Amino acid sequence: MGGALSLGLWHTLEAHRASMTLERLEQQALQLSSALEQKMDAYGELVYGMAVLGKSPESLSSPLLPQLNAQRYPGVEFLSLVRRMPSAVAGYEMADVWPTRSTDVWMGENAQNLEALTQLWARLPESLEPSMSEPFAVLGGDASPQRVVIGMPMWPASARSAAVHQGDILAMGLRADQLLEHFMARGGLEQGLVSIQDQGSASHRSATSRAPRLPIYVSDGWAQLPASAPKVQHELLVWGRIWSLEFAPQPQVLSALESAYPMIVGIGGLGATLVLAALVAVLSHQRLRAQFQTRVKHNLLRQQSDRLKALLHQSAIGVAEIEPGTGRYLSVNSRFSDVVGYDPKTLEMMDLYQILHPEERPEFQRLEGALAAGRLAHFTVTQRMVRADGSEVWTEVWVSPVVDNTGQSMGRQIVLLLDVTERQILQAQLHAREAYSSEMLRYMPVGLVVVGPSGNIEFVNHQFEVMTGWSQCDMADETTLWRLLCVDAMQHAALLQRLNAGRCEVVPTGVNMPAAEYLLRSKDGKELPIEVSGRFLGGRILLSFVDLSQRKAAEEEIRWLGFYDTVTQLPNRRLLLERLAEAVARCQRPGGGKGALLLLDIDNFKSLNETLGHQHGDALLRLVATRLSNCIAGQYTLARQGGDEFAVVLEDLPSEPLEAGRRAEQVGCAVLEALRTPFYLGAQDFHVTVSMGAVVFSGKSDTVEELLKRADLALYQAKSAGRDTLQFFDPSMQKAVSARVEMEKDMRLALERHEFDLYFQPQVQKDKVIGAEALLRWKHPVKGFISPSVFVPAAEESGLILPLGEWVLYAACRQLAQWAKDPQMAGLTMSVNVSPRQFYQPSFVEQVQQALRVTGAPPRMLELELTEGMLLADVEDTIRKMVQLKAMGVIFSLDDFGTGYSSLSYLKRLPLDKLKIDQSFVYEVLSSANDATIARSIIALGNSLGLQVIAEGVETEAQREFLASSGCHYWQGFLFSQPKPIAEFETWTRAYGAARSERSHV
């Protein structure tokens, strides 16, 4: 009872004493935290002000910092300008550390290699306010991290010192422990202890709980504080870092009497009770301790035994114990069993020699005998073993006797087994590759010579011997090598000087010796252009020799091919252009005279080439070239421009334009006359004529391109004039060509602007409209309507007929799809003219199929009009495409029948539906007996073939009656209607049908 009362009284007094202690400690902690925060803020503001004003440490004598001393700036060790290193050198360098007494600690690699400073320098360039590093220690300083640096990027734009540059940083170094000791010395924490730690960056506050805490300052005696000591914690945000301040009271916070009073009362009441309790506790503790130590020792022994067993069986190396001499297995681990392919129980009934390969046993027994005799402490051997399945495995075996602590043998041997099969395979592959590489090196298509460190020749491959004729036995050293290869002494000296210069350049850098071309001499005295290069390989030099003879010959051949024609051996177009440009330039000189360009084209050469074959065509070109060369007699430039075209450049013609033209005409006429003589080719004579275009130039404003264009226009005019003639360039030709170019340009724009339209002309059978022909019309926004006879040929020549024809096809199909929805128009077919170029496209069938599918037009109402000329080009392709389209339901008509030369045999093979009599026969059918006879023949032919015959160009009732009496009952022409836009055509068609209907009722 007395003890319980004493204990309760002691607890009450102890709680009161603890409350007083914490209250006094909180007051002192608040004062110290506030003073520390104000001082660190002041240092940061000082760095900020100097950085903004561009102050460097050399200006510290200014009024901004009158004196840097421990009293005014406690803890400050230095101010420094940290320079950004050049781009080739990573990092920063401290410069102008002030005061200079700090340089031995803060400058050099010591400060530059600190991770804390490296991180600070890295993030400062992006900062607009001072930032502080994490605590760190420097070489030569205290072991604990008690230093920090406050940094701020300099503002060069406002700097007044030339020493400040973009990227420089103003840094202030602080000793945090000195700063704390300054406050402690001034009574900042008289009766307490403090521990200050850095918790990390404030920007990563969520991660500060996981970041390691770095001590900044720890009071003496802090480590001896009991875990139950009362503590007060404060937290400061110091320039981007979080500092944790922890305060604890010293024993002398309260007076001696205040501190001892609870203890006196407690001790007095509990003294007797504690003496008895202590005696019982000591006895019980000794007994429990003995039991615990026994259990710990037992567990340790069992764990060690288990670890050894696990290590033995889980090892990547096979382990076995065997009897010396007999090789009988005493124990094996699982890896040993896996390697040899026997289970452990089977191995215990075997010995090591049974699994050794028969060829390996003698060597193993020899080593075993040396081990037993003590001549070897252990041995390692790589041998083959035979597995249980009969396969062989390469192993590396290590054998050693097992000895006790005294070094005496325990009658067992330990065997370590490692499966090295893959290593052996790799080594065999490596040896094979080395042999292959050596052989490949010897027979490489490049000559190779290896010069040893002392200048001796170590290796010469086969290609070098074949190339130069010199073998390794002919060359004792490098000097002899170059003496034999060089053409003369002067070249020998120059080559050695160049090689030595290359070596001096290559050796320090370790790169290849640059390749250079030399004229070297082979053993038979032949001079060879050879490219020599080298590479330094550990004191040796690998020289490579590449024979450039073939490449030089190829380059010469390429140069010749680039300027000359391979068939005729004449200058080609490229050389022609160069010589024509030179001729134009010479004409521009004073007194240079005039020149002329003649372009010749063999008439009908394509037909001859296709008839006789390209081989005869090339032979004819060679004969023509020979005759032209004889005619020109080397006075002028003769060239083959390409295909069957030749060109002649005349120079030094008279300055008078008429006289120059007359001279050019004389040369041209002489050429024409010379070529009229038959050529004997393939045991028969061939008559050849040429068309020739000529242009005279003076060089003043003439260009090569313009001259070629003019001569080509004159050549075109010569062909149009009947061939076998000479025509000079006429400006009207240029005008016609320009008009054609403008026409093509307008047609391209017309396609983009949708200026084309379809007009429709009805096709009539007796008193009803059965269909219409879609006719293309073009209304130019400036020139008005342009006749199809003008723009269609231009479209054919330029290739615009393809997009134009596709547009017509889609437009016609769209209109058919619209008519299909109108009962009065649904029975009309639509006839569409197809261009030969459009029809012969490989994708024409797919194009028609897609147009029908996209527009939804009925295929049976689409009629494609072909011309007779299309039948002469490729009849089989024409029939194939027509059959494919016919299978879709499309119908065909043969337009302008009678004007071409179509064969009747072809006509009966074509899947035609209609024949159209050309309007040229219909026009004079009443006045010309021939035209009437032709018209009757076409009608009779069509009817006999089961084809519908339509007459075009019916303009009078008399013409219609003649055709009807001859058996043609389908008409188209102005008698019925001119081509009309779609709206007018539909109105006319409905009115025509209604009128016929009323007439029939009457």
Give per-residue pLDDT as tens, 234-275. Answer: 888 888 889 888 888 876 555 555 555 556 655 665 665 666
Does pLDDT of 277 surpass 70? no
Instruction: Read off the pLDDT of each residue in 504-528 and give the average, rounded to a whole number.
Output: 74
* Record: fold of 745-995: TIM Barrel (3.20.20)
Q: Look at the domain 318-427 and name its fold.
A: Beta-Lactamase (3.30.450)
Most confident of 159-173, 277-291, 686-700, 761-775: 761-775
Closest CA to 43 of 68, 16, 25: 68
Q: CB within 8 A of 152, min separation 6: which ones?
A: 47, 48, 50, 51, 124, 127, 129, 130, 131, 169, 170
Of 507-511, 800-804, 901-905, give the lowest mean pLDDT range.
507-511
pLDDT band of residue 303 (cuts 50, 70, 90) is low
Can you tell me the mean pLDDT for 102-114? 53
Q: Looking at the chain, which residues constitute the CATH 3.30.450.20 domain(s)?
A: 318-427, 444-554
Q: Which amino acid is at 678?
A: P
* From the candidate CATH numbers 3.40.50.720, 3.30.450.20, 3.20.20.140, 3.40.50.300, the one assigned to the domain spanning 444-554: 3.30.450.20
Q: Which pLDDT tens digit goes with each residue over 602-615?
A: 888 877 777 777 78
Determine the Cα–Cα distance for residues 149 and 139; give it in Å rounded to an integer: 16
In the block, residue with structure tokens 């040429």 = 690
CATH 3.20.20.450 location in the chain: 745-995
Tokens of 751: 């396609």
Q: What is the pLDDT of residue 885?
A: 93
> What's the rounded Cα separation, in Å, for the pair 863 and 842?
20
Tokens of 17: 């004493």
Rounded Cα distance between 80 and 120, Å, is 14
Tokens at 560, concatenated:
């010749």
Point out the least confidently predicted range of 65-74, 394-403, 493-502, 943-952. Answer: 65-74
- Provide long-range contacts, Cβ within 8 A and 24+ apart, for 31-34: 31/188, 32/183, 32/188, 32/189, 32/194, 32/245, 32/247, 33/234, 33/236, 33/245
Q: Confidence band (pLDDT; 50, 70, 90) for 159? A: very low
Whether 336 contacts 346, CB under 8 Å: no
Strands 409-419 and 645-653: unpaired
pLDDT for 810:
95
Count Cβ atoms below 10 Å from residue 820 Cβ, excluding itself.
16
- Return the percentage of the chain with pLDDT > 70, whole number: 81
Read off the DSSP letter of residue 134: P
How many CB atoms neighbour CB 28 within 10 A? 20
Q: Give yes or no for a contact between 908 and 871, defined as CB atoms under 8 angstroms apart.
A: no
Is the pLDDT at 102 greater than 60, yes or no?
no
Which pLDDT score is estimated for 108?
46
Which of 950, 948, 982, 981 has its CA nearest to residue 819?
A: 982
pLDDT band (50, 70, 90) for residue 160: very low
Entry field: residues in the chain: 1002
CB burial of 471-496 (b: ≥16 within 10 Å; e: otherwise) equals eeeebeebeebbebbbeeeebbeebe
Helix (H) or strand (E) holding 103: helix 103-106
Q: Which residues pair with 382 in a beta bridge?
A: 396
- Closest by Cα among 374, 313, 265, 325 to 11: 265
Determine the pLDDT at residue 895: 83
Q: What are the beta bridge partners of residue 527?
A: 521
Cis peptide leading into 981, omega within 30 of 0?
no
- As a whole number, the mean pLDDT across the chain is 81
Most confident of 29-43, 52-66, 783-797, 853-867: 853-867
pLDDT at 451: 87
**pLDDT of residue 164 exceeding 70:** no
What sign does the dihedral 963-968-969-975 (CA atoms) show?
A: negative
**What pLDDT is stored for residue 52 in this prediction?**
76
Q: What is the mean pLDDT of residues 321-328?
A: 86
Q: What is the pLDDT of residues 195-211, one digit of tens each?
A: 898 888 887 766 545 66
Paired with 196 in beta bridges are: 217, 245
- 162-to-54, 62, 234 alpha-carbon distances in Å: 10, 17, 44
Q: What is the pLDDT of residues 823-871, one digit of tens each?
A: 999 999 999 999 888 998 999 999 999 999 999 999 999 999 988 777 6
pLDDT at site 255: 55
Band (995; pLDDT cuts 50, 70, 90): low
Q: Which residue has the tokens 């089961």?
A: 946
Q: What would the mean pLDDT of 283-306 be, rounded to a whole number? A: 69
**Stretch 173-194: mean pLDDT, rounded?**
80
Q: Show the beta-strand stretches assigned E in 626-705.
A: 637-642, 645-653, 679-681, 684-686, 690-697
Output the CA–CA distances (angstroms, integers) from residue 550 to 112, 420, 487, 529, 546, in the order listed. 61, 51, 20, 10, 10
Burial 430-466 (b: 16+ CB within 10 A, else e): eeeeeeeeeeebeeeeebbbbbeeeeebebbbbbbee
Q: By C-alpha distance, which of 725, 733, 729, 668 is closest to 702?
A: 729
Task: Mean pLDDT check: name the lowest of 56-70, 390-404, 455-469, 544-558.
Answer: 56-70
582, 588, 594, 596 alpha-carbon torsion, rounded to 10°: 40
- How many Å apart are CA 82 and CA 123, to the nearest integer? 14
Query: Which fold is adopted by the domain 563-729?
Result: Alpha-Beta Plaits (3.30.70)
Under the banding of pLDDT at 50, 70 and 90, the label for residue 680 is confident
pLDDT digits (tens, 9 = 90+) for 450-491: 888 888 888 888 888 888 888 888 888 888 888 888 877 777
**Helix, strand, coil % in the chain, rounded to nearest 5:** 50, 25, 25
Pairing of strands 690-697, 726-728: parallel
Distance CA 944, CA 954 (A): 23
Tokens at 604, concatenated: 């009908």
pLDDT of residue 831: 94
For the cut 90, the answer to whether the pLDDT of residue 497 exceeds it is no
SS3 909: helix
> Strand, helix or coil at 840?
coil
Q: How far is CA 998 from CA 825, 854, 975, in A?
A: 19, 39, 20
Rg from Cα positions in the chain:
56
Q: What is the mean pLDDT of residues 766-780?
A: 91
- The residue written with tokens 């012969």 in the block is 840
pLDDT reported for residue 311: 55
Residue of 307 and 609 predicted with greater confidence: 609
Mean pLDDT within 708-726: 86
**CATH 3.30.70.270 segments of the chain:** 563-729
User: 23-37, 50-64, 535-549 — which is least confidently predicted?
Assistant: 50-64
End-to-end CA distance of the chain: 149
